[in-house]
A and B are shown apart, each in its own frame.
Chain A
């Protein structure tokens, strides 16, 4: 593939590995010069990878040594070809440069990766949580994050909301909950009566 040859010529020290999977080319690179590499692929007239199809991350907990990989799927609308670039990010220093200066669409993709994996993109204009609430703790798509949270670790806002709803259920128009509460009160009274 022409793009891989050009990359090997231009950035020989940055490339770690080139392999094919299901007929698609993947290039694994170091994270330091990722902006230069992608800028080169975006601007080169013979490659012209102008469409950032996807940007995401993978958590390789217990499988590979640099724990995270950020995956850039590029597409060239002119030359009709895909190329996948992977940047390796270690666990103890989860930082890599942002590519929002090249593609505006990377803005939300990077925010989502930050939200879900906790990777920090340096130079991002507005790095906030996107899908999860702002005061959420933990990064849900990491492999060590459980599918079901333990009851005492659940989101405090949700717990408050549920307690509030239980408190206000007495004033609800729908009679089911009130009947349930009244039934409980009645049995308690009966119980006291029997004891007396």
Chain B
């Protein structure tokens, strides 16, 4: 201490001795979960200003979607939140179906719910693994990845892809579940509730974990709403805003599950919310598997579902010739592929509220696709969460809002 004071005394004589210290954190920093760059202004170890700079993964998904048909643009949504790609696909399909007024068969709806909740568990497992690794708990990482592999194997069994699934289609899903998949899911839902306490015993009452998380990154409920936080990050501040309950889509209104809410407003309560959510997601999958039994053998694709080879422009529907004797030429009438209009549809993705705002002009490709990504908003809230905290805590804060840069930059 005395030594430090002496150094400070010596430096005081110099000209810019109390200038702020600038740190560039990222874009290659391992704890930024991708290519996030944080421009930090430090006073000692306290963060005075935090300025996130994004765009390193910008691929122009919104612009690309305008130049593709609705069916082709769905594969682009895989690459947003690549950890839970199934939830992105389902959100996009629901938005387009609402625009088209398409009714999805019940079996397909149940399957979509199962796929969404599997994606939620997979996403939360990866979140827990990396968040714990950032703070210093190595073992949790290995446990979580063991179980995530199991889920990814089931995804591979369902549709052939592990990460970018593209499994839902406009009007349903690609393939029905086979009996092996259902059996495997029953095994998973039996086993998984016993796996969660394994992670919790490692970190839940760990003194280091508590010191790093309790009381860090506090945000009150009102400010969290004002900052636009959604999903588990908002529910950690005591606001029970869950789109599965607020605006029920698919078959969520028939299911029995609890919205996880914690009132601590800090990093620790956001962690508790996600642990609760994994249990609830497991419960939902179990109920959906029972529901699947009731509609055995029903179709999984709606009859009016658009073809995968959608026309890019407007469709020409054949029309009867005005008079049978005036020649064989049948003139076509232009029919909109997707009716003109606009829709905003949001689902509860693992990270938060994932909204699709689609404007159609009647052709086979959208006029405008806007993706309201939860990670984008959560990163914009990082300055409010981290300013005034210690520089070491920003790693915990970034982890607690659960960001994926593929979704943020789009």
A124 within 8 A of B: no
A77 and B228 within 8 A (CB): no
- Supposing A73-B355, A130-B54 touch, asked if A22 and B98 sit within 8 A by C-beta, the answer is yes
Q: Which residues of A contact B341 (CB under 8 A)?
A: 21-22
A71 and B357 within 8 A (CB): yes
B344 within 8 A of A: yes
A141 and B239 within 8 A (CB): no
A112 CA to B67 CA in the complex, in Å? 20
A50 and B342 within 8 A (CB): no
B227, chain A: closest CB distance, angstroms: 5
Give the residue name and chain of the B residue nearest to A131 (CB). Answer: B55
Partner of A73, one of B98, B344, B367, B409: B344
Q: Mark B357-397, 1 if CB is under 8 A from A, else 0.
A: 10101000001101010001101110010000000000000
Q: Which residues of B contact A112 (CB under 8 A)?
A: 376
B146 within 8 A of A: no
A63 and B361 within 8 A (CB): yes
Q: Which residues of A contact B324 (CB under 8 A)?
A: none
Q: Mark B211-223, 1 if CB is under 8 A from A, else 0.
A: 0000000000001
B contacts with A: majority SS: mixed
A60 CA to B301 CA in the complex, in Å? 34
A63 CA to B228 CA in the complex, in Å? 32
B208 within 8 A of A: no
Partner of A50, one of B225, B380, B384: B225
Q: Which residues of B contact A108 (CB under 8 A)?
A: 376-377, 379-380
Q: Mark A121-145, 1 if CB is under 8 A from B, else 0.
A: 0000000001111000000110000
A140 CA to B379 CA in the complex, in Å? 22
Q: Which residues of B contact A105 (CB under 8 A)?
A: 226-228, 377, 380-381
B60 within 8 A of A: yes
Tell me which residues from 79 to 102 in chain A have a Cβ below 8 Å from any Cβ of chain B.
80, 82, 84
Q: Which residues of A contact B43 (CB under 8 A)?
A: none
B343 and A21 within 8 A (CB): yes
B401, chain A: closest CB distance, angstroms: 13
Give the residue name and chain of the A residue nearest to B368 (CB). Answer: A58
Partner of B63, one of A53, A80, A140: A140
B58 within 8 A of A: yes
B226 and A104 within 8 A (CB): yes
A176 within 8 A of B: no
Q: Which residues of B contact A21 (CB under 8 A)?
A: 341-343
A68, chain B: closest CB distance, angstroms: 11
A67 within 8 A of B: no
B357 and A73 within 8 A (CB): yes
A24 within 8 A of B: yes
Give the residue name and chain of the B residue nearest to A112 (CB). Answer: B376
Partner of B62, one of A52, A63, A141: A141
Q: Which residues of A contact B227 (CB under 8 A)?
A: 104-105
Give the residue name and chain of the B residue nearest to A136 (CB). Answer: B55
B346 within 8 A of A: yes
A77 and B241 within 8 A (CB): yes
- Supposing A58-B368, A147-B67 touch, asked if A140 and B60 sit within 8 A by C-beta, the answer is yes
Q: Which of A23, A80, A107, A131 has the most CB of B within 10 A?
A: A131
Q: Which residues of B contact A50 (CB under 8 A)?
A: 225-226
Q: Which residues of B contact A58 (CB under 8 A)?
A: 359, 367-368
B247 within 8 A of A: yes
Give the residue name and chain of the B residue nearest to A105 (CB). Answer: B228
B406, chain A: closest CB distance, angstroms: 13
A8 CA to B103 CA in the complex, in Å? 34
Give the residue name and chain of the B residue nearest to A77 (CB). Answer: B241
A188 within 8 A of B: no
B228 and A103 within 8 A (CB): yes
A31 CA to B223 CA in the complex, in Å? 27
B281 within 8 A of A: no
Tell me which residues from 214 to 270 in chain B have a Cβ below 8 Å from any Cβ of chain A.
223, 225-228, 230, 239, 241, 246-247
A103 CA to B226 CA in the complex, in Å? 5
A82 and B241 within 8 A (CB): no
Q: Mark A10-52, 1 if CB is under 8 A from B, else 0.
A: 0000000000011110100000000000000000000000111
Give the residue name and chain of the B residue nearest to A50 (CB). Answer: B225
A140 CA to B67 CA in the complex, in Å? 13
Q: Which residues of A contact B246 (CB under 8 A)?
A: 77, 80
B248, chain A: closest CB distance, angstroms: 10
B81 within 8 A of A: no
A22 CA to B101 CA in the complex, in Å? 8
Give the residue name and chain of the A residue nearest to B241 (CB). Answer: A77
B226 and A56 within 8 A (CB): no
Q: Which residues of A contact B407 (CB under 8 A)?
A: none
B361, chain A: closest CB distance, angstroms: 7
Q: Which residues of B contact A71 (CB under 8 A)?
A: 357, 370
Given A73-B372, A105-B228, 14 more A-B residue pairs with CB atoms under 8 Å apart are: A22-B98, A22-B101, A53-B346, A53-B355, A54-B372, A63-B361, A104-B223, A104-B381, A108-B377, A116-B62, A130-B54, A130-B55, A131-B55, A131-B410
Q: Please, could you name 11 A-B residue pairs with CB atoms under 8 Å apart, sorted by A?
A: A21-B342, A22-B98, A50-B226, A51-B241, A54-B357, A58-B367, A103-B228, A104-B381, A131-B54, A141-B63, A147-B63
Chain B residues with a Cβ under 8 A of chain A: 54-55, 58, 60, 62-64, 67, 98-99, 101, 223, 225-228, 230, 239, 241, 246-247, 341-344, 346, 353, 355, 357, 359, 361, 367-368, 370, 372, 376-377, 379-381, 384, 409-410
**Nearest 4 Cβ contacts at the A-B interface:** A105-B228, A108-B380, A21-B341, A131-B55
